[in-house]
Amino acid sequence: MRDEETGSWWQQVTGEAILGPLKGHRLTQVVHDEIAFSVWKGEQPTGRVLKPDERVANKYEPADWEERYLKLPVPASASADEGLPPRTLVIGVAVGAASKAYPFAKLQEHPVILDEVGGTPVLLITDDRKQSFRVFDRSIDGRAFEFFAKPNTSPVLLVDAASGSEWDFAGRATSGPLAGKQLRKLPAFSDYWFDWKTYHPNTTIFW
């Protein structure tokens, strides 16, 4: 990305300026969601949607852009290693200097994953359609909690082992002794393995 004010060039993934007057500066990361529209609409019923601008429609990528990009070669430095093909879709989580890649297929098989990244206990969860994901710090009042999916619930509900409270996909306790508590959402990216590895060369993989 290039900013108009100084002409500096910025890395899209890290938000770091790599060339120009602002080289070395880094943009503040904003936690975001990568979720299905149906999930977002259910949580934000009055939310507004950004509409494509017909005046510049010819500048948008065509609908089949993803299929076309799959045919492009990946950097030689990011070829398959550690048993993971370059274009494997992963959920990348970085906490401080530590980072870990979670193959999305693994998360679809196990919709609740409890792990630790950089000393922070983390919770990864997919929705009941296995399309959307979120990542949370699973510590509450300084204590790491364990969670499991409540069977046969839609939308998905979690239950923590310590108090039996129920939690929704937004990381909020909706019932039980901890009702009203909110888990801290962590930044996470849906990315190809080769791209995540390029920007996080010391990343580990969740198997």
Which whole-number Å values give the CA distances from 102 to 6, 48, 87, 204, in the listed order?
37, 31, 13, 9
pTM to 2 decimal places: 0.87
pLDDT of 12 strictly over 90 = no
Check residues 79 and 130 and name the one with the higher pLDDT.
130
In single-letter form, the type of residue at position 175 comes to S
Lowest mean pLDDT among 59-63, 103-107, 190-194: 59-63
Confidence at residue 84, expressed as pLDDT on a 0 to 100 scale: 87
Which run of H or of E encompasses 198? Answer: helix 193-199
Closest CA to 162 of 147, 181, 184, 173: 147
pLDDT tens readout for residues 147-171: 999 998 888 999 999 999 999 999 9
Residue ranges of domains in the chain, CATH in brackets: 87-207 (2.102.10.10)
Reading the block at residue 42, the tokens are 């259910």
Confidence at residue 181, expressed as pLDDT on a 0 to 100 scale: 97
pLDDT tens readout for residues 57-71: 888 888 888 888 888
